[in-house]
Amino acid sequence: MPRRKASEEEVDVVERVQMLDRPDPLHRELVEHVVYLREQMAHMTRDLNRCRQERLLALNHKLRTD
């Protein structure tokens, strides 16, 4: 899922931590958590899109058979 476009001064938090010379453990944990949440959101979005597609196909089939 593409993320929204960032403005010029807005940099992704993961990229900001990766730019640090020596990120501390809290920063690394933050990155891991953000990546995990993004993965979970991507899974949920895919599931939602699949359900919407199935619903539309079922509705289309119903309209054809009515």
The residues near 34 (Cβ < 8 Å, ≥ 6 apart) are 13, 14
Neighbour tally for 26: CB within 10 Å = 9
pLDDT of 8 strictly over 80? no
Residue 56 has a pLDDT of 94
Q: What value, to the nearest 5°, has the Cα angle with vertex 37 and ends 34 and 43?
A: 145
* Exposure on the CB side of residue 50, measured as CA atoms within 13 A: 6
Residue 64 has a pLDDT of 86
Q: What is the overall mean pLDDT for the chain?
A: 89
Residue 63 has a pLDDT of 83
Full-model pTM: 0.69
Q: Each residue of 23-46: pLDDT tens digit? A: 999 999 999 999 999 999 999 999
Distance CA(10)–CA(32), nearest Å, equals 20
